[in-house]
Structure 1
Amino acid sequence: MIEKLAEKLVNLTVKEVTELANILRKEYGIEPSSLLLKSDNNKNIEKSSEKEEKSIFNIILKSTGASKLSVVKLVKEITGKGLKESKDLVDSVPSVLKESVNKKDAEDLKKKFEEIGAEIELK
């Protein structure tokens, strides 16, 4: 159960994280860390992380290519989302499909998408 919760938290969008922070603040009196809210600190963390070789990536769909249906099916498979949510992700290109994926898995997923004509960015 905890692992599923952790996976859901890791895959939240920025908007969802903001909503979660607001709920925690209003309903439970929990203040998010000021470090996470200050964009300057986040930029500094990102810059120091970029100096090291990246090992964790976000998978971003940039283009669906000619076979949109195949892309929707693959998005559904890798995200575990329903067909409608997967289609919505594909329709709202560019969109983050998966966050915090290790390098090997990210490259494997990128290869799968490229084989069906989609354009993927690892960031």
Structure 2
Amino acid sequence: MIEKLAEQLVNLTVKQVNELASILKREYGIEPSNLEKSENISLLEEKISKNKKEEKSIFNIILKSSGNSKLSVVKLVKEITGKGLKESKDLVDNIPSILKESVNKKEAEDLKNKFEEIGAEVELK
């Protein structure tokens, strides 16, 4: 139960955090002691952002630059996407482009390394 509550708190939006702070103050008389409310919210947002980045396990692979070896990049795009040569070339020509969606962390990192080895720039989001 406590773990579920912690997960819910970590996933709150800024608006929800402000609303929660108002409820805690109004209903229970609980308010920040040493820091200003805005500073507490900023700290909480920073922690939430950090946790979300750490917990992320599914990524989209986005091609940002083909580098100097465009042909090698087109071949690799064709290989990983299963698309034809023309479709792969179109993806490389229309940067930034999503090459693959919903990829697990290990596969995403492996693919990113392959692209970087041939001089391409890839972003994992």
Quick one: which amino acid aligns to residue 92 of structure 2? V
**How far apart are the structure 1 equivalents of 2:53 and 2:122?**
23
Task: State the partner residue of 2:52.
Answer: 50
Question: What does 1:1-123 correspond to in 2, within 5 Å?
Answer: 50=52, 53-123=55-125
- DSSP-derived class of the 1:65 partner: coil
Q: List structure 1 segments (4+ residues) > 2 angstroms apart after TM superposition.
A: 47-52
Structure 2 segments unaligned to the other structure (5+ residues): 1-47
Task: State the partner residue of 1:38.
Answer: none
**How far apart are the structure 1 equivalents of 2:76 and 2:65?**
14
- Give the greater-gyration-radius structure (CA): 2
TM-aligned CA deviation for residue 52 of structure 1: 5.8
TM-aligned CA deviation for residue 59 of structure 1: 0.1
Quick one: which amino acid aligns to residue 55 of structure 2? E
RMSD: 2.1
Per-residue Cα deviation, 1:3-52 (whole angstroms, up to 9, x for no partner): xxxxxxxxxxxxxxxxxxxxxxxxxxxxxxxxxxxxxxxxxxxx899366
- DSSP-derived class of the 2:55 partner: coil
**How far apart are the structure 1 equivalents of 2:61 and 2:113?**
11
1:51–1:63 CA distance, 2 compared to 1 (3 A): closer
TM-aligned CA deviation for residue 61 of structure 1: 0.1
Tell me how many residue pairs correspond in the alignment.
Answer: 79
**How far apart are the structure 1 equivalents of 2:57 and 2:88?**
26
TM-score by length of 1: 0.59
Quick one: which amino acid aligns to residue 100 of structure 1? S
TM-score by length of 2: 0.58
1:72–1:59 CA distance, 2 compared to 1 (3 A): same
Structure 1 segments unaligned to the other structure (5+ residues): 1-46
Per-residue Cα deviation, 1:62-93 (whole angstroms, up to 9, x for no partner): 00000000000000000000000000000000
